[in-house]
Amino acid sequence: MSERDAALSEALRRGLREARREELGSLAALLSRAFAADPVYRWLLPDDGRWPRASAVLFGEILELFAATGLVLTDAAGAGVSLWSPPEAPPRGLPISLRLVLRLGLAVGRLARLGATLAPFAAREPHWYLAVVATAPERRRSGVATRMLEPILARCDAALLPAYLETGAAANLAFYERRGFRVVGETRPRRGGPVIWALRRGVGRDR
């Protein structure tokens, strides 16, 4: 059994499931609302007037990528979502094409600087990578985000695999640290980009 299948089995046991393709649009809208004040995504898409549509398109592309190559978890109510790359997945990266750049009006220079900033954080060891976890704004502080992480973190412990993530929100650091993550790097894109932290969750004595 692959790591992805083992993790999905654990998620199902805990009341989560893999998102269906027809749900990706509504989950993109959830991500758009959840990340409306996120420092990194708002640095990429700073125009308030364009944010609702442009962010939904961007998150739709990201969801499509993870649905094809990783794992998109949600619950029956659609109150939260988490996007993961398992150890056997292709190297991660934003699914940004020139077509999408032009469609969204993304600043190409900012996008390139973000990619260069995150590249050194790409782990070389087998690991689970958390790309996104989000809760519908009206359901925050109700344990949804924790539930979206639990199956994969349990799988990490069972398989003795580390987990990695990056965040540009300082308020999220304590949340992740309570779940075993530790900051392993801090950086920011050149020319005024937001601070970004890289976090790793080890296993065994590595914790």
pLDDT by residue (tens digit) across 26-44?
999 999 999 999 999 998 8
User: Which residues form the domain of 11?
Assistant: 3-206
Look at 168 and 115; give whichever has higher pLDDT.
168
Cα–Cα–Cα angle for 99, 100, 102, nearest 5°? 70
Residue 80 sits in a domain whose CATH number is 3.40.630.30
Alpha carbon distance 47, 29 (integer Å): 17
Element spanning 39, H or E: helix 39-44
Alpha carbon distance 93, 65 (integer Å): 9
pLDDT by residue (tens digit) across 88-100?
876 655 555 556 6
Give the pTM.
Answer: 0.90
Burial (CB count within 10 angstroms: exposed 0-12, middle 13-18, buried 19+), residue 155? buried
Alpha carbon distance 78, 109 (integer Å): 35
Closest listed residue to residue 79, CA positions, set 138, 9, 18, 32: 138
The domain tally of the chain equals 1
